[in-house]
A = this chain, B = another copy of it.
């Protein structure tokens, strides 16, 4: 719009010069005034925040990162600014993916890769993020528009494609391998892939790509009746992959297509999807910035406000060849991993002071054996500055609750579940 206004000013100038009679100059000046007014209106409608070179912890109203950098002062995160080095890929920019993208953008993530092939519709307005004026735009374009306004510091790359097509999958793989953002990074070009898709086929495509690339990812889903959801961490070779064991999400009996027939549509709620997106990005922040415990699986049953957790080991008879390869590599690397962990423990022990660091141990911090696979522990963040405490009591005593499903599920059960899962369509 600014270009159009500039052209108009130029054209008015040349018109004024061509006028034979200066009595008409006033009319042209009046027109120029209109253009100036329009320019002012356009400018006030598009005030944007400028880019920020370094994240500052300064507590001023104009610092968009002050409340995030405060996580360091509060002892939760060791180095918050590291978030600018990370790349996260989000597959599916729907009710969960779009909110996850906005949360990471507001947290100042380094780079976001967004994948979707769908367009924004009025029927999406019962979920957060998209606005009615974006109806008709591709979800990727609309997301880039909104996210770049919110935080211009984030590098956004969007891919309007379907990852379940041959061409789409190839582009998806190539984009994950691209290391131009951080050439020194080990492995792929991204630190984490978040799956926020609404169907089984797309989840299997993400699973295939991540198994091939030894890429850690997190899966998310919301049930068709809109009242439950889950997130799950998948580390190729170390945890179950999506083909090893389907999640506890089953639409039993009916085929996915029957649910999409004319006149039938799945329910969705901004609440359930907002909670799942929040839990997903919280797990992402804990994983990337190494604080708290990264949950291997977390369910959300909103009717009862019940949140089951569990851990799933890989299935040695998984149907996915890349998964079996990753499992082999993980086993082969075990002695080296154990030795490194032992050396690290010994080094830390030799550095530790002789006596207890805090005699009174007000926060009840203790060194615990964190080898339990059920919980993936990152660095402890229990130590808060004097005078602050976590809002809730310790969950330790509740962790002994029985898991809803045993970690080792038999293959027969898996096949039955797999069939049911084919009927799954979670959005």
Q: CB distance A49 to B122 under 8 Å?
A: yes
Residue of B nearest to A300 (CB): B392
Asked if A243 is an interface residue, CB under 8 A from chain B, the answer is: no
Alpha-carbon distance A45/B41, docked complex (angstroms): 13
Chain A positions 74 through 90: 1 when the CB is less than 8 Å from some CB of chain B, otherwise 0: 11100000000000000
Q: CB distance A393 to B387 under 8 Å?
A: no
Residues of A90-111 at the interface with B, using a CB-CB cut-off of 8 Å, are 99, 102-103, 106-108
Q: CB distance A48 to B133 under 8 Å?
A: yes
Q: CB distance A34 to B48 under 8 Å?
A: no
Q: Of residues A45, A278, A392, which shows the largest number of chain B Cβ atoms within 10 Å of its Cβ? A: A392
**Contact partners of A295 in chain B: CB under 8 A:** 305
Residue of B nearest to A58 (CB): B263
Asked if A223 is an interface residue, CB under 8 A from chain B, the answer is: yes
Pick the interface stretch among A63-71, A160-168, A311-319. Answer: A63-71
Alpha-carbon distance A331/B48, docked complex (angstroms): 57
Q: Report the count of interface residues on A (CB-CB < 8 A).
A: 140
**Contact partners of A269 in chain B: CB under 8 A:** 68, 71, 107, 282, 285
Chain A positions 288 through 306: 1 when the CB is less than 8 Å from some CB of chain B, otherwise 0: 0001110100111111111
Given contacts A4-B38, A37-B4, A106-B126, contact A390 B150 (CB under 8 A): no
Distance in angstroms from A256 CB to nearest chain B CB is 11
Distance in angstroms from A338 CB to nearest chain B CB is 26
Asked if A388 is an interface residue, CB under 8 A from chain B, the answer is: yes
**Contact partners of A299 in chain B: CB under 8 A:** 391-392
Distance in angstroms from A140 CB to nearest chain B CB is 18
Given contacts A64-B126, A133-B45, A221-B391, contact A304 B308 (CB under 8 A): no
> Taking the full assembly, how many copies of this chain does it contain?
2
Asked if A151 is an interface residue, CB under 8 A from chain B, the answer is: yes
Q: CB distance A18 to B27 under 8 Å?
A: yes
Q: CB distance A31 to B12 under 8 Å?
A: yes
Q: CB distance A282 to B302 under 8 Å?
A: yes
Given contacts A225-B390, A269-B68, A395-B301, contact A149 B131 (CB under 8 A): yes
Asked if A274 is an interface residue, CB under 8 A from chain B, the answer is: yes
Q: CB distance A4 to B62 under 8 Å?
A: no
Asked if A15 is an interface residue, CB under 8 A from chain B, the answer is: yes
A28's contact among B15, B282, B305, B392, by CB below 8 Å, is which? B15
Residues of A1-52 at the interface with B, using a CB-CB cut-off of 8 Å, are 1, 4-5, 7-8, 11-12, 14-15, 18-21, 24, 27-28, 30-31, 34-35, 37-38, 41, 45-49
7 smallest CB-CB distances across A and B, nearest first, come from: A306-B395, A292-B303, A254-B387, A223-B391, A275-B278, A228-B391, A70-B267
Of the A-B pairs whose beta carbons lie under 8 Å apart in the complex, a sample of 15, sorted by A's number, is: A8-B34, A8-B35, A62-B121, A65-B126, A67-B265, A67-B267, A68-B126, A76-B225, A271-B285, A272-B282, A274-B278, A292-B304, A305-B309, A306-B399, A393-B404
